[in-house]
Structure 1
Amino acid sequence: MTASRTSSDGAITLHRNDLPDDVTFTGSVAVDTETMGLKPHRDRLCLVQLSAGDGTAHLVQLIPTALGGTGYDCPNLKAVLADPALTKIMHFARFDVGILQHALGITVSPVVCTKIAARLVRTFTDRHGLAALCRDMLGVDLSKQQQSSDWGATNLKPEQLAYAASDVLYLHALWEKMDTLLAREGRRDLAQACFDFLPARARLDLLGYEDPDIFSHRA
């Protein structure tokens, strides 16, 4: 089932269980996720948000079979996320790549991450969250009120859908500015090396190598 609505930020289309066959992306797609928590082995993936950067957000609600859905049987969504010709733009991609790879059994690549980019070029501040970056660099205020709401509900509230959509609607514009700053500071190649490593970094996290971190000198 697909349902559409319009918010002050842009058009929002909710798809249950998978992307329809006629929703496609070229070049790049902004991606974010909503989950029941921050532990991929414990907490289920509930929602995947996508945008082509055109003011429209496609939200794919993944409903467990026990609740009448198809679980993670979503071939169209998997094809988009695993497409090697499609760059996935994310913020804090380490988590999103990890939960997507764990839940859907795919490799999510290639990826760019606006949070990694911000940490490489905005060293004059510790404000690297999406809301702070959108406010500072795009003049957009994002509401984080629904961040901790129940994403496992079968029927999501309009406020939840608007919040989820806002996390992808501005990523293309934000990445464009970040990419310019990375080039200006001579760190584009370094950033790309970090981005290329993200699928492997996510696999390490899933294996439990967040702590201890194999790159740490700590015994």
Structure 2
Amino acid sequence: MSGRQIPIDGAITLHRNDLPDGLEFGPRVAIDTETMGLVPHRDRLCLVQLSSGDGTAHLVQLIPDQPGGKPADCPNLKRLLSDASVLKIMHFARFDVAVLQHTLGITVAPTVCTKIAARLVRTFTDRHGLAALCRDLLGVEISKHQQCSDWGAPKLTPEQLVYAASDVLYLHALWDKLEALLVREDRRELAQACYDFLPARARLDLLGYEDPDIFSHRS
């Protein structure tokens, strides 16, 4: 059951446990997650952020049914994330896909990843973080001060919610810039092959094959 909606300001709406019925994001939706840590099979998924690219963000806070328990069922969110007709735009999709698949029991596809795109075309720099890409390609400054805050808190602060929204509000524009660079450098097809592999890469990570990596020569 979808929880109540809490408008934060004109651009951000917080939902408890699921998206409301009938909310549409169009053919492309920007997705990000906030968790208790960076190990997808260990650390709890706390928040899922979504934006259609229109300057608004919807945040879904997933609240466990009991301490240490699983979050409530979220059929609307799961339906959107697994919808093959909706492109999911992410930054560092390898992690987000893994934690979403592990928590929700779905396959998250199709996806594109701005971090993978940046690494394929911005080989002149090692600045591939979201803040750096937004600054360099969009002229937008976003703060990362709340990145390591407690996302499992029952009540999130306004600062946390603004930070979480900023991680999806610019992904559409950022992907458009990076896709054009992929085409320019003749690496769009290679990028797509990477994106198509992401659900399987996430399953390998969840099975513990991040280290040792089965693609590594190291025995």
TM-score, structure 1 normalization: 0.96
1:27 matched to 2:11: no
8 Å CA contact retained: 1:111, 1:195: yes
1:132 matched to 2:132: yes
1: distance between equivalents of 2:40 and 2:171?
24
State the secondary structure of the residue aligned to 1:66: coil
Opposite residue 3 of structure 1, the aligned amino acid is I
- Tell me how large the CA RMSD over aligned residues is: 1.2
Q: CA deviation at 1:70?
A: 7.8
Give unmatched runs, 5+ long, in structure 2: none
State the secondary structure of the residue aligned to 1:194: helix
1: distance between equivalents of 2:210 and 2:41?
13
Matches within 5 A, 1:1-219: 1-6=4-9, 11-66=11-66, 71-219=71-219
2: distance between equivalents of 1:107 and 1:12?
27
8 Å CA contact retained: 1:72, 1:103: no
Q: How many residues align?
A: 215
Give unmatched runs, 5+ long, in structure 1: none
TM-score, structure 2 normalization: 0.96
1: distance between equivalents of 2:88 and 2:113?
8
Moved runs in structure 1, 4+ residues, more than 6 A?
none
Q: CA deviation at 1:167?
A: 0.1
Q: How far does the alpha carbon of each residue in 1:139-173 deviate from its partner, in whole angstroms, 9 at most, with x for none?
A: 00110010000000111000000000000000000
State the secondary structure of the residue aligned to 1:190: helix
2: distance between equivalents of 1:213 and 1:70?
29
8 Å CA contact retained: 1:72, 1:104: no
State the secondary structure of the residue aligned to 1:140: coil
Opposite residue 166 of structure 1, the aligned amino acid is S
2: distance between equivalents of 1:143 and 1:201?
29
Opposite residue 201 of structure 1, the aligned amino acid is R
8 Å CA contact retained: 1:127, 1:133: yes
8 Å CA contact retained: 1:50, 1:168: yes
